[in-house]
Amino acid sequence: MSRQTLLINDLAGYGKVALSAMIPVLSHMGHHLYNLPTALVSNTLDYGKFDILETTDYMKNTLSVWGELGFSFDAISTGFIVSAEQTRLVADYCKEQNKKGTKIFVDPVMGDEGHLYNGVTEQTIAYMRELVAVADVIVPNYTEAVYLADMPYQENGMIKEEANQLVQKLREIGAKSVVVTSAKVEGTDAVIGYDCVTNQNFMLPFTIVPVRFPGTGDIFSAVLMGKVLAGNSLMNSTQKAMDAVKEMIVKNQDNADKFKGIPVETCFDVLDEK
């Protein structure tokens, strides 16, 4: 069954990240895709020089028009949000849609490797918690998870009790199901989480492929969302997303310009295997 799915994320003119990566993946998985760009970005940030146009006024006007036209969606996925004002706008819209039965998937893009991105403030984190509170599934990385949960960042990783506590604190904010990427638990790189359907915590170990592409988190979120909406369990969907991203990285690891991200249209065979 095809889903009416709205993606709220940024759009890069050059490079496969955010909307440019998620739209082809979810389209291939059979979804009807709609989008609300939070910003237009000239190219992936890895090039070191870029231009960015934030679209807050456009977003406000678009949501108003969509409301008048009575548009609705089966699922909404949120990614990069430029400011605290945009975060509040998206949180309010997702709350309203969630009451009508729309499934909300939130990737709370705020930072990585222990640090917040430039421009992310305490106010942004507070609004992001409001967005997390209405989410059916949240997919933060470890850095974002500890900021949301107000826990310390552990440079050398967590023990199992800390990992469980982190997931529990995110649930207490209001997230129904939780998937935390880039975690390290007792020396093992892993994705940890909680599935509200089965009422179970899980930990899925992985081996890091030492090649960096921008946009892999967006591909992960897209595959996970697609699999969950197709009726797979959260743990199974997470594992399939992990496997898909790893295979795509390995398949493209010799690409000359990795700053472009992964050319997902050449990787549909990987999605078909999953």
pLDDT over 70, % of the chain: 99
Check residue 150 and give its pLDDT.
97
**Cα–Cα distance for residue pair 31/20, rounded to 1 Å:** 15
Instruction: Check which CATH number belongs to the domain holding 154 and give it.
Output: 3.40.1190.20
If we measure between CA atoms, which residue out of 107, 103, 128 comes closest to residue 5?
Answer: 103
Give CB contacts under 8 A, 24+ apart, made by 63-70. 63/36, 63/89, 63/93
Whether the Cβ atoms of residue 148 and residue 125 lie closer than 8 Å to each other: yes
Task: Give how many domains the chain has, as a whole number.
Answer: 1
List pLDDT tens digits, range 154-164: 999 999 999 99
Identify the pLDDT of residue 273: 80
List, in sequence order, every residue forming a beta bridge with 141; answer none if it has no partner: 181
Containing structural domain, residue 126: 4-273
The pLDDT of residue 1: 58
The parts of the chain modelled with pLDDT lower than 70 are: 1-2
Residue-level pLDDT at 119 = 84
pTM: 0.97
